[in-house]
Amino acid sequence: MTEKTIPEKASLETSVSANPIPAKPQPRITPWAAPLWEACAQGKLSLPYCSQCEASFYYPRQWCPQCFNQDLSWLELSGRGKVYSFSVVHQSPLPSYQDDVPYVLAIIELEEGPRMMTNILNCDVDKVRVDMPVEVTFEERGDMTIPQFQPLK
Ligand SMILES: [Zn+2]
């Protein structure tokens, strides 16, 4: 019995370590969010803007979440904001994030008002604080450019 169990465990460990880490998931691009991703690819942060509310919002949708206005435009934002809330992730939710732990999952309040869920990059996880000034940075992920944030330089 013992002789049988040991080779099976050894075999399992070999097969797990031989598997490459899967790629991180990519956002699904909807027609109404496409301008966000096109701007990110150019190193810019743009969000939908409602002229009736005179405000931008995140995430992109087909109507303003405040007044339901569907006549929206796009506004290029400063990319600056502050940490509104955050959590340090110590256990990877997906195998594709196992090399990133510990990492910071945060909600950023942009200067223009909208809040975005993101990661804080280029910063020791122990140094992140609420109200910490941050700026957008961009992560290349496959053929997409993902907006992330880092401490303001
Ligand atoms: Zn509105």
Task: Please write the tens of the pLDDT for every residue from 24-64.
Answer: 888 899 999 999 999 999 999 999 999 999 999 999 999 99
Distance in Å, CA 51 to ligand 1 centroid:
7
Distance in Å, CA 112 to ligand 1 centroid:
14
The pLDDT value given to residue 144: 94
Helix (H) or strand (E) holding 124: none
Number of continuous H segments (helices) and E segments (strands) in the chain: 2, 8
Distance in Å, CA 61 to ligand 1 centroid:
12
The pLDDT value given to residue 135: 98
Distance in Å, CA 113 to ligand 1 centroid:
13
For residue 6, is pLDDT > 50?
A: no
The pLDDT value given to residue 14: 46
Vertex 76, ends 86 and 125: CA angle to 5°? Answer: 20
Distance in Å, CA 141 to ligand 1 centroid:
32
Distance in Å, CA 130 to ligand 1 centroid:
28
Distance in Å, CA 90 to ligand 1 centroid:
38
Task: Please write the tens of the pLDDT for every residue from 131-151.
Answer: 999 999 999 998 999 999 999
The pLDDT value given to residue 41: 97
The pLDDT value given to residue 17: 53
- Residue 75: partners with Cβ closer than 8 Å, 6 or more residues away: 46, 47, 48, 49, 56, 112
Q: Give burial (CB, 10 Å; 0-12/13-18/19+) of 136.
A: buried
Task: Please write the tens of the pLDDT for every residue from 61-119.
Answer: 999 999 999 999 999 999 999 999 999 999 998 999 999 999 999 999 999 999 999 99
Q: What is the pTM of this model?
A: 0.84
The pLDDT value given to residue 101: 96
pLDDT band at 20 (very low <50, low <70, confident <90, very high): confident
* Residues 47 and 57 sit within 8 Å (Cβ to Cβ): yes
Distance in Å, CA 55 to ligand 1 centroid:
7
